[in-house]
Structure 1
Amino acid sequence: MILLIDIGNSRFKWALFDGEGVVQRGAALHPDDMEAFATSTWGTIEKPLRVVISTVASPQLTERLAGWAMAQWSLSVEIMVSPAAGYGVKNAYGEPGSLGSDRWAAMVAVRSEFKNRAVCVVGCGTAVTIDVINRKGEHQGGLILPGLTMMRHALVNETDRIKIGQSSLNDEGAQISFLACDTGNAVIGGTFYALIAAIDRITHDIVAELGVNTARVITGGDAPALLPLLAAKYIHRDTLVIDGLCVMVQADA
Structure 2
Amino acid sequence: MKLLIDVGNTLCKYVTFQQGELSVIKSIETHLINQQWLAENFPIVEQCIVSNVNDSNLNQIITSWCESERIDYCFVESEAEKFNIRCAYDDPSTFGVDRWLGLIGASTLFPNQATLIIDAGTATTIDLLTSSGIHQGGWILPGINLMFSSLVQNTKKVFATPKNINQIAFANNTTDAVNQANWAATIGCINTAIKTAHEQYLPEDDTLLIVLTGGNAAKLKQLMTVECEFIEKLIFVGMNRYNANKGLK
TM class by shorter chain equals 0.7 to 0.9
Q: 1:71 to 1:244 in 2, by over 3 A?
A: closer
* 1-structure distance, mates of 2:97, 2:226: 27
Matched, 1:196 2:193: no
Q: 1:42 to 1:182 in 2, by over 3 A?
A: farther
Q: Structure 1 stretches of 5 or more lacking a match?
A: none
Contact 1:130/1:143 (CA < 8 Å) preserved in 2?
A: yes
Aligned residue among 201, 205, 217 for 2:196: 205
SS at match of 1:6: strand
Specify the alignment match of 1:21 in structure 2: 21
* 2-structure distance, mates of 1:33, 1:130: 30
Letter in 1 for 2:218: P
Q: 1:42 to 1:244 in 2, by over 3 A?
A: farther
Letter in 2 for 1:15: V
SS at match of 2:243: helix
Contact 1:88/1:111 (CA < 8 Å) preserved in 2?
A: no
Specify the alignment match of 2:102 in structure 1: 106
* 2-structure distance, mates of 1:156, 1:93: 34
SS at match of 1:153: helix
Identity percentage of aligned residues: 24
After superposition, what is the alpha-carbon deviation per residue over 1:93-133, rounded to whole angstroms, capped at 9, x for unaligned? 11112111111111111112221121111111111111111
Structure 1 residues 57-206: aligned runs within 5 Å? 57-59=54-56, 62-63=58-59, 65-66=61-62, 69=65, 73=69, 78-165=74-161, 168=162, 171=163, 178-206=169-197
Letter in 2 for 1:93: Y
Aligned length: 244
Letter in 2 for 1:11: L
* 2-structure distance, mates of 1:72, 1:123: 35
Structure 1 residues 36-47: aligned runs within 5 Å? 39=37, 43-47=40-44
Contact 1:218/1:235 (CA < 8 Å) preserved in 2?
A: yes
* 2-structure distance, mates of 1:248, 1:125: 24
Specify the alignment match of 2:227 in structure 1: 233
SS at match of 1:249: coil
Aligned residue among 53, 59, 62 for 1:56: 53
The alpha-carbon deviation at position 213 of structure 1 amounts to 1.2
Q: 1:252 to 1:215 in 2, by over 3 A?
A: farther
Q: Which has the higher helix share?
A: 1
Normalised by the length of structure 2, the TM-score is 0.84
Q: Structure 2 stretches of 5 or more lacking a match?
A: none
* 2-structure distance, mates of 1:155, 1:29: 29
Contact 2:12/2:30 (CA < 8 Å) preserved in 1?
A: no
